[in-house]
């Protein structure tokens, strides 16, 4: 009845036994419970091996060929009464590549119970790979010189003819969608991966050419409509145009299709737009579709705008670049080194590789999930669905999207993703019912490859998500983005994000009074905005556009432009934080008092009172939890009141420790500012930190001789609760608990 005794274990059985031992390890809290060894051995067991025949029964000697067969077997045995519905099931999946031509779906009939879940487990961590693409071979490619009959190839630089290869895909039954005139985020499928790395769609400038961007200064036509025009057509957006002095576009085949990926007006809004036409005499590029904010539209940002050209066959000139002729179904590649022995995958599946809907008590452990052109895993309305110890990489869209309750994404590695890493949502905001979804101990990096803004490493919405002990780095924009209520975002390490964007934060939320009760505690945020056009506009924590009611406590913020930026919000608590080498420590402005968008029907996203009314912000449960919000309309709602800044230490914030605008300075009596210390470790004059006129701050010189990370360690080594830096009641930051940790799934640390 599902109990196996291995007297002379096979390699597969030994691998299963090892998994059982690993499952006995307990990580120290209820969220990390595993089946006990007894539960594991009494569970119903199935075995899967990609090399198995279709007639397998699921035993170790006669395994099933894929996960779909295992799922159907579980259903059949339950339906027939052979297996009790309440019994735990372990599906042991042998190493190998399991192709997914369509989504692998799991529903309400495929889960277990709280004490007896259904577990799909790779018997070798990372060894069982679920792949959403088509495998190609190096021998499928031939030298491009054999394809010079194609007129398109004559635009290529003859210097690459001896290097570039071409693969004919016409006999594979593939259909390639047309590239739209404009898109944001994921380009149309497919995408090419070689040896586990995404190839670069032929572009100019190349990645390693300076910073990889071309720039222009002059917009010929912004494309913005005139809101005051009596002609409705003239009030609409239209495709814009700009002058580009470099003659490079004359080389491009505009009729074949060339697209420009650009930050057209703001450094927080990217879009890919096709070129409609190019006038070499006027050096004018006319775009084929409008951009929402126009071309160098209404902006206070940088006078230069950035773009690079993509999907340009004539720019196929660097190893790792590729181009797909969608009409002729030919794939061109400038191959990377060692291509003859490479693994080659063309990602084609645009649906999630794993689609889990309304399932309960279901787990996936130790898989590699890769090479799809949508999301890797989509959990919808799940309960106690756990994704643990998986490697999720090379996806055109995101990693793991979760809605529901008590679900977990734990100890996974997620990287080389077109959009986001992990997204958590669920709970009931009106009733403040907590979802209890968890993203813990994950390593998320090199994401936002296609959607360069607002595709966070980890995001939280709804009510009551937990984001803990993750490591997030190397991305163009946000690391953690959140909205909603009662989230706990703690002990994460964040670095090298906001790399190419401005007016952006590693942690970001905004434009909502009701997004309250969120706690950002004991996070280490450092080294942001490398290569950014304006370093001061990269924030460690950014509470944008009147966001209110957050607690920022015990965080370490090092080498950001602004450590904390509060854009006109209220009731925020900034306490017990350590800020080092940030030009500006805290920014607080009064934009609610001065910006015309505030509660303006012409700007629907700024209708802050309407958002609050929609959630019943004066209902008993909300009024009890957020009493200040409940009476906001009778309490000068435009003013940034009741913010608390206390027990913070600012080291070498050489431009301003506090950047408060003139309206905020008049409201200091309505703020709680006390027991903050500004330290100059170089012994420079206290006047350089510009806080002499602000009560609640004290200047202090220090003699610590350290720089970089050594400076962080030097200060933290001294912290205690007995008047450290002259602050009574300082709460030491538990540095040793921040970031990734070893557990049953994560055996080593990066």
**What total number of domains does the chain contain?**
4
For residue 60, pLDDT over 70 is answered with yes
For residue 239, pLDDT over 70 is answered with yes
- Tell me the pLDDT tens digit for each residue of 363-399: 999 999 999 999 999 999 999 999 999 999 999 999 9
pLDDT band at 22 (very low <50, low <70, confident <90, very high): very low
Higher pLDDT: 144 or 41? It is: 144
Residues whose CB is less than 8 angstroms from the CB of residue 32 and which lie 6 or more positions away in sequence, other chains included: 26, 410, 743, 744
- Tell me the pLDDT tens digit for each residue of 613-656: 999 999 999 999 999 999 999 999 999 999 999 999 999 988 88
pTM (two decimals): 0.94
- Tell me the pLDDT tens digit for each residue of 189-200: 999 999 999 999
Residue 272: give its domain's CATH number.
2.40.30
The structure tokens 């009172």 sit at 609
Q: For residue 391, is it within any domain?
A: no
- One domain, residues 175 and 56: no
pLDDT band at 300 (very low <50, low <70, confident <90, very high): low
- One domain, residues 109 and 164: no
Q: For residue 341, is it within any domain?
A: yes
SS (H, E, C) 525-551: EECCCCCCCCHHHEEEEEEECCCCCCE
Q: For residue 370, is it within any domain?
A: no
pLDDT of residue 722: 82
pLDDT of residue 702: 64
- One domain, residues 568 and 606: yes
For residue 463, pLDDT over 70 is answered with yes
- One domain, residues 114 and 172: no
The structure tokens 């942690």 sit at 507
Q: For residue 388, is it within any domain?
A: no
pLDDT of residue 511: 96
Which of 23-37, 54-68, 141-155, 265-279 is predicted with the least confidence, judged by mean pLDDT? 23-37
pLDDT band at 27 (very low <50, low <70, confident <90, very high): very low
Among 92, 125, 158, the domain-final residue is 125
| Under 8 Å between Cβ of 329 and 348 | no
Burial, 343: exposed, middle or buried (Cβ in 10 Å; 0-12, 13-18, 19+)? middle
User: What does the alpha-carbon distance between residue 598 and residue 579 come to, in Å, rounded to a whole number?
Assistant: 31
- One domain, residues 587 and 687: yes
pLDDT of residue 103: 98
Higher pLDDT: 709 or 340? It is: 340
Q: For residue 409, is it within any domain?
A: no
pLDDT of residue 4: 31
- One domain, residues 219 and 163: no
End-to-end C-alpha distance for the chain, whole angstroms:
42
- One domain, residues 115 and 264: no
- One domain, residues 157 and 224: no
pLDDT of residue 8: 40
pLDDT band at 156 (very low <50, low <70, confident <90, very high): confident
pLDDT band at 45 (very low <50, low <70, confident <90, very high): very high
- One domain, residues 177 and 73: no
Residues paired with residue 330 on neighbouring β-strands, in sequence order: 168, 325
- One domain, residues 219 and 325: no
Backbone angles phi, psi at 167, to 5 degrees: -125, 125
Looking only at the bridges linking them, the beta strands covering 493-495 and 471-473 are parallel
Q: Which tokens go with 181?
A: 């005139």
- One domain, residues 714 and 634: yes
Q: Mean pLDDT across the chain, nearest whole number?
A: 91
Q: For residue 376, is it within any domain?
A: no
- The residue count of the chain comes to 750
- Tell me the pLDDT tens digit for each residue of 589-608: 999 999 999 889 989 999 99
Backbone angles phi, psi at 600, to 5 degrees: -105, 120
Among 125, 147, 174, the domain-final residue is 125
- One domain, residues 269 and 150: no
Q: Which domain holds residue 329?
A: 134-202+314-346
Higher pLDDT: 421 or 327? It is: 421
Q: For residue 234, is it within any domain?
A: yes
Q: For residue 1, is it within any domain?
A: no
């Amino acid at each position: 009845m599902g109990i196996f005794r291995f007297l002379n274990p096979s390699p597969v059985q030994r691998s299963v036994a090892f998994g059982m031992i690993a499952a006995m390890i307990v990580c120290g809290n209820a969220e990390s419970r595993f089946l006990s060894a007894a539960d594991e051995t009494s569970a119903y067991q199935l075995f899967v091996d990609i090399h198995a025949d279709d007639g397998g029964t699921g035993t170790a000697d006669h395994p099933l060929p894929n996960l779909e067969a295992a799922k159907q077997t579980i259903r059949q045995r339950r339906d027939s009464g052979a297996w009790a519905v309440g019994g735990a099931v372990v599906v042991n999946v042998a190493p190998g590549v399991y192709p997914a031509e369509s989504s692998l779906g799991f529903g309400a009939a495929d889960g277990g119970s709280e004490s007896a879940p259904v577990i799909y487990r790779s018997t070798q961590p990372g060894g069982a790979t679920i792949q959403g693409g088509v495998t190609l071979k190096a021998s499928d490619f031939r030298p491009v010189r054999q394809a010079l009959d194609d007129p398109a190839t004559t635009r290529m630089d003859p210097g690459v003819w001896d290097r570039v290869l071409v693969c004919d895909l016409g006999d594979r039954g593939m259909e390639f969608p047309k590239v739209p005139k404009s898109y944001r985020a994921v380009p149309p499928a497919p995408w090419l991966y070689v040896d586990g790395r995404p190839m670069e769609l032929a572009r100019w400038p190349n990645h390693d050419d300076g910073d990889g961007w071309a720039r222009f200064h002059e917009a010929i036509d912004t494309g913005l409509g005139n809101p005051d025009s009596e002609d409705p057509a003239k009030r609409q957006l239209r495709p814009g145009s700009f002058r580009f002095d470099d003659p490079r576009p004359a080389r491009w085949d505009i009729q074949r299709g060339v697209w420009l990926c650009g930050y057209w007006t703001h450094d927080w809004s990217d879009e890919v737009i096709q070129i409609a036409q190019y006038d070499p005499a006027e050096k004018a590029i006319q775009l084929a579709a409008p951009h929402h904010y126009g071309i160098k539209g209404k902006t206070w940002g940088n006078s230069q705008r950035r773009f690079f050209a993509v999907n340009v066959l004539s720019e196929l000139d660097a190893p790792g670049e590729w181009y797909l002729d969608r009409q002729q179904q030919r794939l061109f590649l400038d191959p990377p080194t060692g291509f003859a022995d490479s693994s080659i995958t063309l990602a084609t599946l645009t649906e999630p590789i794993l689609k889990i809907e309304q399932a309960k008590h279901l787990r996936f452990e130790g898989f590699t999930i890769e090479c799809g052109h949508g999301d890797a895993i989509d959990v919808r309305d799940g309960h106690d669905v756990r994704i643990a110890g998986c490697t999720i990489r090379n996806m055109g869209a995101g990693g793991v999207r979760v809605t529901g309750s008590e679900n977990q994404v734990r100890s996974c590695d997620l990287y080389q993703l077109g959009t986001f890493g992990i997204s958590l949502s669920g709970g009931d905001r009106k009733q403040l019912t907590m979802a209890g979804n968890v993203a813990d101990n994950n390593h998320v990096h090199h994401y936002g490859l296609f959607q360069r803004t607002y595709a966070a490493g980890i995001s939280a919405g709804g009510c009551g998500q937990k984001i803990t002990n993750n490591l997030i780095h190397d991305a163009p924009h946000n690391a953690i983005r959140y909205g909603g209520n009662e989230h706990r975002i703690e002990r994460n390490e964040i670095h090298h994000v906001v790399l190419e964007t401005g007016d952006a934060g590693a942690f970001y939320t905004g434009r909502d009074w009701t997004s309250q009760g969120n706690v950002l505690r004991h996070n280490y945020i450092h080294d942001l905005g490398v290569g950014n056009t304006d370093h001061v506009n990269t924030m460690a924590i950014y509470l944008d556009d009147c966001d209110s009611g957050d607690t920022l406590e015990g965080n370490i913020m090092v080498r950001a432009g602004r450590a904390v930026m509060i854009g006109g919000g209220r009731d925020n608590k900034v306490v017990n934080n350590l800020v080092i080498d940030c030009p500006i420590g805290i920014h607080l402005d009064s934009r609610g008092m001065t910006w015309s968008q505030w509660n303006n029907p012409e700007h629907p996203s700024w209708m802050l009172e309407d958002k609050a009314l929609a959630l019943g912000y004066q209902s008993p449960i909300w009024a009890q939890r957020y009493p200040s919000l409940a009476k906001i309309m009778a309490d000068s709602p435009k003013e940034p009141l009741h913010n608390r800044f206390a027990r913070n230490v600012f080291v070498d914030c050489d431009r301003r420790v506090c950047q408060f605008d003139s309206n905020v300075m008049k409201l200091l009596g309505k703020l709680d500012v006390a027991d903050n210390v500004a330290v100059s470790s170089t012994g420079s004059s206290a006047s350089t930190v510009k806080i002499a006129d602000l009560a609640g701050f004290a200047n202090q010189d220090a003699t610590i001789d350290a720089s970089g990370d050594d400076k962080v360690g030097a200060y933290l080594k001294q912290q205690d609760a007995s008047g450290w830096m002259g602050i009574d009641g300082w709460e030491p930051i538990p540095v040793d608990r921040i970031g990734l940790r070893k557990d049953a799934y994560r055996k080593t640390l990066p």
